[in-house]
Chains A and B, each alone.
Chain A
Amino acid sequence: MKTCFRVAAAALVIGYALFTKSAIAADTNEEAIVALKGQIAGMEEQMLANQPVLDGLAKIKLTGYIQSQFQIADTDGAAGFSGGNFPAGNHQRFLIRRGRLKVNYVNNLTQYVLQFDVTQGGVAIKDAYLSYNFPWDKKAWTITAGGFDRPFGFEISYSSSNRESPERSRMYQVLFPGERDLGLKFDYAPDSGPMKFLRAKVGAFNGMGVTAVENDNNKDIIGRLGVALPFYDQNMALDAGVSMYMGKVRNGDKYQYAVEGTPKKWMVDSTSTNKNMYYDRNYMGFDAQFYADMPVIGGLSLRMEFISGDQPSLNGSNTFYIYTTPATGVSPLTTGVYQRKFSGYYVNYVQNIGLMDQFVLKYDSFDPNTDVEGDDIGLTNANVRVDNFTSADVQWTTLGFGWVHHMDGNVKLVIYYDMPTNENVSSTLLVGSLLPFKEDIKDNVLTVRMQYKF
């Protein structure tokens, strides 16, 4: 009996102990859960408080790229359009060709863009603009104001970071130096609906470039009307467009020159009313890009552009005439306008080979003065020059080819060889600046470029 009592008492003690332990454990668990819930609620509250800050930061996009390159030219001091002239006595160089940093703030319908270019030459502004996407018509309309790419053709707006050849074609570098201008632009690019293939953009600009001061009241009108035709089933695409540039330049002097006579030469007209007269700077362009997916090998693209028009310029330069100092807008030139008709084109073939490699072949031509052939330049009679043309009237063609290897999503290596060919001028008696143009100038350039883009 006594033993039974003891056993019962022991069982009671153990049972109580177990009950108490489990009760304590349950209490502890509940407390832990309550504590965790509190922590989670606190974190949620903190997250909600931080969310507006994070949302604001997420609207800022920072992108950029650096192009570092080594170049070697045929001859010391070679002049050219593959990254600029080589210094006298030098035919090899390292360059930071472009060092871009772009800040982009996108807030629903609005956008702010500021882009700098940092190179060994210093810091320059490339883009500084704002844009507004109109909410109606499925956001097809956009207005942009500030300094940005001129809406002409294809090659201007094709980023240097994507372009397979190191530089734009010669005609673009001459006609649109710096690519950008100050102005206002409208874009129409519907993403859906019956007009979804249409791409239209038109704007009014100073016509001086993005860093120069405006020097007249005329605004240049630039626009492109294009189509983008995707053939999804075939994985092919055809984009094409026509572009126009309607601008004017103002003569700082009473002299104006035109190609006339036999033999041809610059003939001067010095009527006093020529001073402050306006001359057309009109370009017309056509561009087309074809894309196709080649089974096993990879996609290919064939791109071409043709531009012709009137270029008021100087005797020794075929870039557009500016009668003031670009940076200040003062100090009128005391030389007149040389009226050139020009034409140019390029054809660019890119073949992707697998995922990482691309082969590039490009041919471009630029004739800055279509009224004049090479034989007209440097003509002599009894050992005396009878023309007054310069190297700015010489036609150029450039054949380039290269290889692009994408090391990863950020880095690519470009190896590219440019072979410019100049039109040969006629005379055997030439001296001075036209002398090298008697034959093809040794100015081929090899470029080895590394690019990092993020």
Chain B
Amino acid sequence: MALNPKNKGLEMKKILLVLSLLLPISMFAADKTNLTVKGSDTMVILAQRWAEIYMTARPDVTVSVTGGGSGVGIAALQNGTTDIANSSRPMKSSEREKLKQRYNSLGVEVKVAKDGLSVYLNDANPVQELSLDQLKGIYTGMITNWKALGGKDEKIIVYGRENSSGTYVYFKDNVLGGEDFAPLVQTLPGTAAVVNAVTKDVNGIGYGGAAYAKGIKYCLVKKDAKSTAYEPTEANVKSGDYPISRYLYMYLRARPTGELQKYVDWILSPEGQAVVAKVGYFPVR
């Protein structure tokens, strides 16, 4: 039997009502006690230390920390699989655009530490300092022998990070001036792997966070050939003398509330910032 338009309207209203009842009723989620942190490998040690100390003081809260790179963390923030994205570079406008489309929010940036992006050399390498131009030459493949830099007549073995890494992006933008890395750069999954490779390779060179430099030496870096070269110490980073320093960030989807806010506040507190210094980075407060 065919329905007349009036009955069809009634039929649709019934369906609409049923579907309305099926809508998720948990509109306002309860305050979370499980916080997830994902992103920068540079910040993994720092983030884990924060989580451990915080969970000791607050056993009712669980903070799960994973790495993967800044890009991975930001992607997880966009698709809702993490509460906090750690990033060793500022969020790109295209990444903010994705947050805007999905959450109607630009994302909230919190500067949690400062880092002197360090250049690692093997202890046995006689080279002590490099200028930004020389670093660019090494990583773009223009300089391939240590002899050209005052070292031994040996091939330079260049180690770097994969392109999901914030450190990779920062180095590319600020040292290579946006140019591409040479194909000979061996990409490794994490700063610890880069440090490990340089430790074992007399002719190796790598880059990464200051907190990872164990078993290798810091290369002093200067702005240009005529400038003084500086080590990535707290004083040099804070004064701006060290030419490749950067902030380390936490990104959130929206202004934090509840337990998330408490955690971020604690990280920025003297206690949280003391952890920054202990790990090897530099406090922002």
By a beta-carbon cutoff of 8 Å, the part of chain A in contact with chain B is 48, 51-52, 55, 58, 72-76, 91, 108, 138-139, 158, 162, 191, 230, 232, 235-237, 291-293, 295-301, 350, 352-357, 403, 405-406, 408-409, 415, 417, 442, 444, 446, 448
Residue of B nearest to A58 (CB): B163
Cβ contact within 8 Å between B23 and A139? no
Among A291, A293, A352, A448, point to the contact of B19 (Cβ < 8 A): A448
Cβ contact within 8 Å between A299 and B27? no
**A139: B residues at CB distance < 8 A:** 178
**B105: A residues at CB distance < 8 A:** 235, 291, 293, 298-299, 352
**Distance from B93 Cβ to chain A, minimum over Cβ atoms (Å):** 6
Identify 11 residue pairs between A and B in the complex whose beta-carbon atoms are under 8 Å apart, listed by A's number: A52-B183, A72-B11, A138-B178, A235-B108, A293-B106, A293-B254, A295-B254, A295-B255, A299-B105, A354-B27, A409-B80
Complex alpha-carbon distance, A75 and B109, angstroms: 51
Cβ contact within 8 Å between A230 and B96? yes
Cβ contact within 8 Å between B16 and A417? yes
**Distance from A223 Cβ to chain B, minimum over Cβ atoms (Å):** 20
Complex alpha-carbon distance, A296 and B253, angstroms: 12
**B15: A residues at CB distance < 8 A:** 72, 446
Cβ contact within 8 Å between A293 and B79? no
The 9 lowest CB-CB distance pairs between A and B, nearest first, are A299-B104, A409-B79, A299-B105, A301-B104, A162-B101, A442-B5, A293-B105, A293-B254, A75-B5
16 additional contacts (CB under 8 A) given A74-B5, A403-B23: A48-B186, A72-B11, A74-B9, A162-B101, A235-B105, A293-B104, A293-B105, A293-B106, A293-B108, A295-B257, A298-B103, A354-B26, A355-B29, A408-B79, A442-B5, A444-B9
Q: How would residues 134 to 172 of chain B score, 1 for a CB under 8 Å from any chain A CB and 0 otherwise? A: 000000000000000000000000000001000000000
Cβ contact within 8 Å between A356 and B80? yes
By a beta-carbon cutoff of 8 Å, the part of chain B in contact with chain A is 2, 5, 8-9, 11-12, 15-16, 19-20, 23-24, 26-29, 79-81, 92-93, 96, 100-109, 163, 178, 180, 183, 186-187, 253-255, 257
**Distance from B160 Cβ to chain A, minimum over Cβ atoms (Å):** 12
Identify which of B16, B26, B92, B180 gathers the most chain A CB atoms within 10 Å of its CB.
B16
**A292: B residues at CB distance < 8 A:** 104
**Distance from A419 Cβ to chain B, minimum over Cβ atoms (Å):** 11
Contacts A72-B12, A292-B104, A415-B19; A409 near B81 (Cβ below 8 A): yes
**A191: B residues at CB distance < 8 A:** 92-93
Cβ contact within 8 Å between B8 and A75? yes
Cβ contact within 8 Å between B255 and A355? no
**Distance from B220 Cβ to chain A, minimum over Cβ atoms (Å):** 29
Complex alpha-carbon distance, A142 and B161, angstroms: 28
**B254: A residues at CB distance < 8 A:** 235, 293, 295, 298-299
**A55: B residues at CB distance < 8 A:** 183
**A230: B residues at CB distance < 8 A:** 96, 106
**Distance from B144 Cβ to chain A, minimum over Cβ atoms (Å):** 16
Cβ contact within 8 Å between A355 and B80? yes
**B163: A residues at CB distance < 8 A:** 58
**Distance from B97 Cβ to chain A, minimum over Cβ atoms (Å):** 9
Residue of A nearest to B92 (CB): A191
Complex alpha-carbon distance, A401 and B222, angstroms: 60
**A406: B residues at CB distance < 8 A:** 80
**B101: A residues at CB distance < 8 A:** 158, 162
Among A76, A235, A354, A415, point to the contact of B255 (Cβ < 8 A): A235
Cβ contact within 8 Å between B12 and A444? yes
Cβ contact within 8 Å between B8 and A232? no
Cβ contact within 8 Å between A405 and B23? yes
**B180: A residues at CB distance < 8 A:** 108
**B186: A residues at CB distance < 8 A:** 48
**Distance from A416 Cβ to chain B, minimum over Cβ atoms (Å):** 10
Complex alpha-carbon distance, A230 and B20, angstroms: 35
Identify which of B11, B26, B104 gathers the most chain A CB atoms within 10 Å of its CB.
B104
Cβ contact within 8 Å between B255 and A237? no
**Distance from B20 Cβ to chain A, minimum over Cβ atoms (Å):** 8
**Distance from B44 Cβ to chain A, minimum over Cβ atoms (Å):** 22
Cβ contact within 8 Å between B9 and A357? no
Cβ contact within 8 Å between B12 and A446? yes
**B29: A residues at CB distance < 8 A:** 354-355
**B27: A residues at CB distance < 8 A:** 353-354, 357
Among B2, B26, B80, B100, point to the contact of A291 (Cβ < 8 A): B100
Cβ contact within 8 Å between A235 and B79? no
Residue of B nearest to A109 (CB): B180
Residue of B nearest to A191 (CB): B93
**Distance from B234 Cβ to chain A, minimum over Cβ atoms (Å):** 27
Cβ contact within 8 Å between A298 and B8? no
Cβ contact within 8 Å between B24 and A74? no
**B93: A residues at CB distance < 8 A:** 191
Among B9, B23, B26, B103, point to the contact of A352 (Cβ < 8 A): B103
**A354: B residues at CB distance < 8 A:** 26-29
Contacts A235-B254, A444-B12; A291 near B28 (Cβ below 8 A): no
Identify which of B12, B20, B80 gathers the most chain A CB atoms within 10 Å of its CB.
B12
Complex alpha-carbon distance, A138 and B178, angstroms: 8
Cβ contact within 8 Å between B103 and A299? yes
Complex alpha-carbon distance, A199 and B12, angstroms: 44
Residue of A nearest to B184 (CB): A48
Residue of A nearest to B98 (CB): A162
Contacts A293-B254, A403-B23; A232 near B12 (Cβ below 8 A): no
Complex alpha-carbon distance, A73 and B5, angstroms: 10
**Distance from A299 Cβ to chain B, minimum over Cβ atoms (Å):** 3
